[in-house]
Amino acid sequence: MGDEQTMPYPYEFYNISDEEKSLNEKLHAYPYEFLRVGPKGYLVSKIFKTDAANIYNLPLRSSDIFVTSYQRSGTTWTQELVWLLASDLDYEKALSTPLIERYSFLEMFMNVPDTGIDGFMKALSQNSENFDKESMLKMIKWLGSPITGDLATRPSPRFIKSHLPMSLLPRNLLDTAKMVYIARDPRDVAVSYYHHTRLFMHTGFKGTFKEFWHLFHGNLMVLTPYFEHVKEAWEKRHDPNMLFLFYEDLSKNLPAAIHRVADFLGKKLNDAQTAALCDHLSIENFKKNKAVNFEEFRAFGMLAKNEEFVRKGKTGGWREYFDEEMTQQAEKWIEDNLKDTDLRFPSTN
């Protein structure tokens, strides 16, 4: 167990500007109010403030395994890979138990609107033709806080997913537990995130991709600024309890990435086991795997009919979405944010 002495929360919360609030409300990206937190100004929903200190002081176990990322960076893919390696390739359980049951989502409570569960239900029913309130109520446990819910009673090893940056995670995480962080080219993240906001109907995003890019690049999407998020993890990449991965490397050479994760977790795979895991994790099979693609949410009317959780799984797909102005803007944004660091995203050419 880690040091369980409770420490005061070290960061201040402050309001977003009226201009930022107006822009967000105009595009209706998320149905709740935002605050910024800490010196980096990470954008969080107002409800995060209620549990921020509990997360920061979360008692950890040495057997805990965290999978973290800025969202839409390959988190689900990495979660499945990590879980299977740590669970001795138990494909039967992996295929029969939804990933959202195998992992605790640390800040899932942030996704509940300011109106609470009742307001959340109302928003879903307005956005969906086939909303099933009774079935949805059975899933409310996933919308609550794992800090005050199931996390403390989960058997070891606990698998924990989070999109929080390093500074907002439990303070002694790398002194106690293991973490796998996955990063992806921010232009591809933006495209995937855009489709994500259109998939989950409670977000209600109705804008164009260009409008979405403006929000993302302007640090007005959840847990932006993006580069600060990635750089916090990059700075810890040499810690023995941290494994930093690039989505592009998984796409380019999945067997090599599998062995990196296996080595990190102290596991050994033979060639046949590696080939079987590659087959399980192939995008073709992943798209068909109901345990990882949130299809249970579709049955409750939460997902848009014309969007999918697991999409193309490709790298460099941003080129199909960016016009010349956006391309130049993105290149300057990336260059400005990486100029004082040795962080570089793998080429997708």
Residues annotated as catalytic (active site), given as ranges? 163
- Mention every residue, 6+ apart, whose C-beta is less than 8 A from residue 272: none
DSSP code at position 17? P
DSSP code at position 14? E
Chain centroid to CA 268: how far? 27
- Mention every residue, 6+ apart, whose C-beta is less than 8 A from residue 55: 106, 107, 147, 164, 168, 169, 170
**Cross-strand bridge partners of residue 43:** 36
Is the CA virtual torsion 34, 325, 228, 145 positive or negative?
A: positive
**Measured at the alpha carbon of residue 283, what is the angle toward residues 277 and 286, in degrees to the nearest 5?**
70
Phi, psi dihedrals of residue 67, rounded to the nearest 5°: -120, 115
Alpha-carbon gap, residue 336 to 344, rounded angstroms? 12
Among 300, 310, 289, which residue's Cα sits nearest to residue 102? 289
- Mention every residue, 6+ apart, whose C-beta is less than 8 A from residue 251: 313, 314, 315
Alpha-carbon gap, residue 223 to 164, rounded angstroms? 7
**Cross-strand bridge partners of residue 274:** none
Radius of gyration in angstroms for the set of CA atoms belonging to the chain, rounded to a whole number: 19
Is the distance from CB of 60 to CB of 53 less than 8 angstroms? no
